[in-house]
């Protein structure tokens, strides 16, 4: 097991993973946490070199970089890719945490729906669409052939987008994770980005009875939601955001990002 960062007195916090070019989004994520979740500690796992001094001074963010991960194999298979976010399972400075993608904001106090007394991990509701699972998560048929002990087909309807989730540090086997990433490198198209191995690890652990997992609505993804629903649910009154009930994460996934720069699909 890799050594986690010192946690101080914080048992729970928010973790964000980003590259330096995404820090303009991270500022919005941090602002939303401070607005809705008070002084909840925030940790940024930064995949690249940048001082991020404004995040530290303005929001008290703790920044973890590649050099702060003591396990060489974990650094090698995760950093420099979308899989950086998965390191949170082992390097989190908090015993329990909410992970939020950089292109998302919290809308309400998400601590209200964290239930670590009963569950080790809480995921979003399933993707559902088999074609999206194939494109965004894994090739279920090939995974079933290569890993017959895990019934990937049976769990395909459970797989999720990993843009927001609650988890307990150290609940997954880091050595198994490293082996899966190395196997996937030799079998292109088996797992997609960060989400393939993420879902495989979690739902195989559920099958083995080693973790307790719950699924509920944690995030609204703009690409799956009409503009009318977004503006209705995430409204403002006199310039002040009005929290929805229950709280949720607004994730700009599958659609243009907030227009804070003129680049790509923003």
Contact at 8 Å (CB) between 95 and 111? no
- Chain-wide mean pLDDT for the chain? 92
Q: What is the CATH number of the domain that holds 221?
A: 3.90.550.10
Q: Is residue 39 part of a domain?
A: yes
Burial class (CB in 10 A: 0-12, 13-18, 19+), 215: middle
Are residues 178 and 69 part of one domain? no
Are residues 181 and 167 part of one domain? no
Are residues 194 and 224 part of one domain? no
pLDDT over 60 (residue 32): yes
pLDDT in tens, 43-102: 999 999 999 999 999 999 999 999 999 999 999 999 999 899 999 999 999 999 999 999
Are residues 189 and 167 part of one domain? no
Q: Is residue 149 part of a domain?
A: yes
The helix/strand/coil state of 191 is strand
Are residues 71 and 26 part of one domain? yes
Q: Is residue 2 part of a domain?
A: no
Q: How far is 120 from 195, CA to CA, in rounded Å?
A: 18
pLDDT over 90 (residue 263): no
Q: Is residue 86 part of a domain?
A: yes
Are residues 139 and 97 part of one domain? no
- The residue range of the domain holding 246 is 11-125+160-171+212-255
Are residues 241 and 149 part of one domain? no
Q: Is residue 100 part of a domain?
A: yes
Q: How far is 178 from 73, CA to CA, in rounded Å?
A: 7
Q: Is residue 139 part of a domain?
A: yes
Q: Is residue 5 part of a domain?
A: no
Quick one: DSSP state of residue 190?
S
The helix/strand/coil state of 12 is strand
Are residues 233 and 113 part of one domain? yes
* Token pair recorded at residue 30: 């941090």
Q: Check residues 144 and 245 and name the one with the higher pLDDT.
A: 144
pLDDT over 60 (residue 9): no
* Token pair recorded at residue 131: 């074609």
| pLDDT, mean of residues 115-124 | 97
| Residue/partner pairs of 181-185 with CB below 8 Å, 24 or more apart | 181/77, 181/78, 181/83, 182/77, 183/146
* Token pair recorded at residue 206: 């559920």
* Token pair recorded at residue 201: 């690890």
Tokens 């950089």 belong to 102
Phi, psi angle pair for 195, to nearest 5°: -85, -25
Q: Is residue 6 part of a domain?
A: no
Q: How far is 72 from 8, CA to CA, in rounded Å?
A: 24
Domain tally, the chain: 2
pLDDT in tens, 143-181: 999 999 999 999 999 999 999 999 999 999 999 999 999
Contact at 8 Å (CB) between 110 and 98? yes
Are residues 144 and 19 part of one domain? no
Q: How far is 174 from 205, CA to CA, in rounded Å?
A: 13
Nearest-5° Cα angle at 66, 61 to 70: 105
CA distances from 156 to 10, 101, 111, 183, 204 (A): 35, 22, 28, 20, 12
Are residues 184 and 110 part of one domain? no
Cis check for the bond before 246: say yes or no (omega within 30 of 0).
yes
Are residues 70 and 95 part of one domain? yes
Burial class (CB in 10 A: 0-12, 13-18, 19+), 161: buried
Are residues 137 and 179 part of one domain? yes
Q: DSSP letters along 74-125, please?
A: HHHHHTTSGGGGGGHHHH-SSSEEEEE-TTEEEES-GGGG--TTT-SEEEPP
């Amino acid at each position: 097991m890799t050594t986690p960062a010192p946690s101080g007195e914080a048992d729970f916090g928010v973790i964000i993973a980003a590259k330096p070019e995404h820090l303009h989004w991270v500022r919005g994520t941090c602002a939303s946490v401070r607005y809705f979740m008070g002084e909840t500690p925030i940790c940024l796992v930064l995949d690249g070199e940048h001082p991020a001094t404004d995040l530290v001074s303005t929001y008290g963010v703790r920044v973890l970089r590649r050099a702060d991960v003591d396990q060489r194999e974990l650094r090698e298979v995760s950093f420099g890719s979308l899989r950086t976010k998965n390191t949170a399972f082992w390097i989190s400075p908090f015993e329990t945490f909410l992970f939020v993608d950089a292109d998302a904001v919290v809308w309400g106090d998400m601590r209200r729906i964290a239930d670590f007394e009963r569950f080790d991990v809480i995921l979003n509701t399933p993707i559902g669409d088999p074609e999206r699972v194939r494109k965004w998560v894994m090739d279920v048929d090939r995974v079933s052939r290569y890993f017959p002990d895990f019934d990937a087909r049976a769990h395909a309807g459970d797989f999720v987008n990993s843009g927001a989730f609650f988890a307990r540090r150290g609940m997954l086997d880091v050595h198994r994770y490293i082996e899966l990433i190395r196997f996937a490198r030799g079998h292109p198209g088996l797992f997609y980005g960060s989400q393939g191995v993420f879902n495989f690890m979690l739902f195989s652990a559920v099958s083995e009875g080693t973790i307790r997992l719950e699924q509920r609505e944690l995030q609204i993804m703009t690409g799956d939601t009409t503009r009318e629903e977004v503006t209705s649910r995430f409204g403002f009154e006199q310039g002040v955001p009005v929290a929805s009930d229950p709280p949720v994460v607004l994730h700009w996934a599958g659609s243009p990002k907030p227009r804070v720069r003129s680049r790509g699909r923003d």
